[in-house]
A and B are shown apart, each in its own frame.
Chain A
Amino acid sequence: MKERGELFKNGAIQLLLALNAVIMVYPLFVMVISSFKTNAEIFSSPFALPASFSLTNAERVWNETNFVRYLANSVGITTAAVALILLFSTMAAYALARYRFKLSALVLVFFLSGMTVPLKLAIIPLFIQLDSLGLVDSYLGLVLVYVAMGIPSAVFIMTGFLRTLPRELEESARMDGASELRIMRSIMLPLARPALVIVAIQNAVPIWNDFFFPLVLITSDNLKTLPQGLTVFVGEFTTDWGVLFTGLTLAALPITLLYVVLSKQFISGITQGAVK
């Protein structure tokens, strides 16, 4: 009797999860199949599979829009920002985690308090600041804002991780006369790779997806990022739904593929901080 009740309950749970999965995936599925359809097909038979898997829409996105340029900009900006976040934060975290010095507690608190600051709300002075440095409407300005935004939590995670590495490792290397730089680069950092991956994903996803800062800081079409470019694109092809769905599909494609391959790291990277 109990067995039966259990079976029924598990069935209900599976049903709930399946329903949720459909709600999550079906819109994306429609987005993808619509990208192969003509406008007429989308309007008259929105649920059907495309009559043929034609790439006409994709060709138009490639030829008639700045899509590829936006994509390249996003790749470049995200890569540069994440690289600098990893470099600067690891350096600072290394100093905080492996050496004792007078102001270390204060410096750590300074970095940590940066985690609570919503930088969006400081966008006006930030804009004026970047303007006075001649960095509005440039890659560098946008990258520096992202780096500033990413450093606090990256320092937090890296400091916590680097502290857990055993002291004996560096002591013995020091005995052997290795320089501090060498100890850091050849002994400590290779051990920190898992933490670096988490920090990289935690920063790369929001930067890649960000829309607010480019909206304020970038005006030239040639410098626009992918999310920002999409708004241009949608403005141009308002009635051409086949092209619109293709643009959305192509914009979603890179990060979705990465996510499917690295879902574990993505999930722990993004929920890091909320899950302790």
Chain B
Amino acid sequence: MKSGRRRTARPFPWRRSLWIAFLLAPALVVMMLFVLWPLLSAFRFAFYEFNGLRPTGFIGLENFRQVLFEKPFSDWTYNALKHNVIAFFALMVFENGTAFLIAFALLKALPGHRVHQVIVFLPVVLSAVIVGFLWKLFLHPLFGLVNQALALVGIGAIPWLGNESTALGSVLFANIWHWLGFPTLVLLAGMQRISKDVIEAARLDGAGDYVLMTKIVWPLIAPSVTIVTILTFIGSFNWFEIPYVMAGLTGSPGGATDVLGLYFYRTAFGSTTSGIQDFGQGSALAVMMFIIVAGVTAIALRYLRRREIEL
């Protein structure tokens, strides 16, 4: 950028081309080296056997066969996949459902609504590591805030993160607390775009809040619902940080919180306990996750777009 003296006068077309090339070059080079090339390699590597960092030989679909059909890998894969699917539906119902209610409440623009917007979005700007550790401390069986509060009303200590039946739900709860503000404000923005005339007309026709919410607002924010759904799906299938922080690399207890992101990381970069790492299998998992996310997103997008028109 120190080319202050460069004169790019118009009569010289090659100078113009050079100037354009100079503007594009840094971004293009970075993208090719660190996005395009790794991405293409990611697909290639899934078909190779690895020795440490080096691909040693083409083995066809062997890596896929192992993670899909060979025990114990396949058990881990399906166990993790199941939790990703549960996470998606749980987040759709509890996170996005709550977000819709809060957004609708904020739409009324009662006194203080701006402060409430800022508050609901506050945890979103914090790192998942902070949020994860904070809730891990709060959910501690003996000294955690949650059980101490329950003790006040006479409920005995529950080992939230130590119990197979409550661990995934607890981790999901922390995730919802972390992200709630995001869908809330996206849905609110969708609601605010509905023209005032439409709402006024419905009100004059005698529509109450419930009718307004279900018959007017809900259909008209379909585009926002589409985006929130897709982002929730991508988020649930790339889920990694909060489970890692709260339940550890192996998805404790007993794999009850294992998700594909953790399993992929463990396979590729070794778990603290086993120390085994396998870039080939890891690449196969990454390709499968990519196909799930890209495939489902594409299909869902078509379905949801059609729904937007029908509604």
> Taking beta carbons and an 8 Å cutoff, which residues of A are in contact with B?
9-10, 13-14, 16-17, 20-21, 23-25, 27-28, 30-31, 42-43, 46-47, 87-89, 91-92, 94-96, 99, 101, 107, 110-111, 114, 116-129, 131, 144-145, 147-149, 151-152, 155, 174, 179-181, 205, 208-212, 216, 226-228, 230-231, 234, 241, 244-245, 248, 251-252, 255-256, 259-260, 263, 266-267, 270-271, 274-276
From A28, A151, A241, contact of B137 by CB (8 A): A241
Which residues of A are found within 8 Å of B238, using beta-carbon distances? 118, 120-121
Chain B proximity of A177: nearest CB distance (Å): 8
Would A226 and B209 count as touching, CB distance under 8 A? no
Contact in complex: B268, A212 (CB < 8 Å): no
- Residues in B with CB closer than 8 Å to A266 are 121, 125
Given contacts A10-B108, A91-B23, A92-B27, contact A46 B17 (CB under 8 A): no
B55 to chain A, nearest CB (A): 9
Q: Which of B270-287 contact A (CB under 8 A)?
A: 279, 282-283, 286-287
Q: How would residues 170 to 200 of chain B score, 1 for a CB under 8 Å from any chain A CB and 0 otherwise?
A: 0000000100111001100110000000000
**Secondary structure call for the A interface:** helix
The answer to whether A95 and B185 touch (CB under 8 A), given A20-B116, A181-B3, is no
Q: What's the Cα separation between A6 and B241 when bound, in Å? A: 44
CA–CA, A239 and B1, complex, Å:
52
B165 within 8 A of partner (CB): no
Max count, chain B CB within 10 A of own CB: residue among A94, A124, A151, A179: A124
Min CB–CB distance B181 → chain A (angstroms): 8
Q: Other CB < 8 Å A-B pairs besides A99-B16, A274-B186, 13 of them? A: A20-B98, A21-B120, A92-B28, A107-B28, A121-B287, A124-B279, A125-B42, A128-B53, A149-B35, A180-B8, A181-B6, A209-B128, A216-B269
Q: A211-B129, A275-B189 are contacts. A99–B8 as well, Cβ < 8 Å?
A: no
A95 touches B24 (CB 8 A): yes
Say yes or no: A123-B268 contact (C-beta < 8 A), given A92-B23, A114-B31, A248-B134: yes
Name B194-221 residues within 8 Å CB distance of A. Answer: 209
- Cβ–Cβ contact A271 & B112, under 8 A: no
B-chain residues with CB within 8 Å of residue A110 when the two chains form the complex: 28, 31
Which residue of chain A has the shortest Cβ distance to B261 in the bound complex?
A120
Q: Is the CB of B130 within 8 A of A252?
A: yes
CA distance A116 to B301 in the complex (A): 13
A28 to B133, CA, bound (A): 12
Pick from B8, B45, B122, B240: contact of A179, CB below 8 A. B8
Please, which residue of chain A has its CB at the minimum distance from the CB of B234? A118
Task: Indicate if the CB atoms of B121 and A147 lie closer than 8 Å.
Answer: no
Closest chain-A Cβ to B290's Cβ sits at a distance in Å of 5
Contacts of A116 in B (CB 8 A): 294
Q: Is B148 an interface residue (CB 8 A)?
A: yes
Task: Select which of A91, A94, A149, A231 is within 8 A of B245 by beta carbon.
Answer: A231
Question: CB distance A28 to B1 under 8 Å?
Answer: no
In the complex, what residue of chain B is closest to A146 when comparing beta carbons?
A: B34
Q: Which of A47, A91, A244, A255 contacts B126 (CB 8 A)?
A: A255
Check B35–A125 contact: CB distance below 8 A: no
Binding stretch for chain A, among B70-78, B82-90, B99-107: B99-107
B31 near A259 with CB under 8 A, answer no
Partner of B134, one of A27, A95, A180, A209: A27
Chain A residue with the shortest CB-CB distance to B269: A216
Decide if B143 touches A241 in the complex (CB within 8 Å).
yes
Query: Which one, B101, B127, B143, B182, contacts A271 given CB within 8 A?
Result: B182
Name A16's closest neighbour in chain B (CB-CB).
B105
Known: A91-B24, A227-B130. A118 touches B110 (CB 8 A): no
Residue contacts A-B, CB under 8 angstroms, 24 given: A17-B105, A24-B122, A24-B123, A24-B177, A27-B135, A27-B145, A91-B23, A92-B26, A92-B28, A95-B23, A121-B286, A121-B287, A122-B39, A124-B283, A131-B53, A148-B33, A179-B7, A181-B19, A211-B244, A212-B240, A231-B245, A267-B118, A270-B124, A275-B186
Q: Would you call B185 and A267 a contact (CB within 8 A)? A: yes
By beta carbon, the residue of chain B nearest A275 is: B189
- The A-contacting residues of B in range 1-41, CB under 8 angstroms, are 1, 3-4, 6-10, 16-17, 19-20, 22-24, 26-28, 30-31, 33-35, 37-39, 41
The answer to whether A117 touches B39, judged by C-beta atoms less than 8 angstroms apart, is yes
Tell yes or no: B296 within 8 A of A by CB: no
Which of B28, B30, B108, B269: most chain A Cβ within 10 A?
B30
B289 at interface by CB-CB < 8 Å: yes
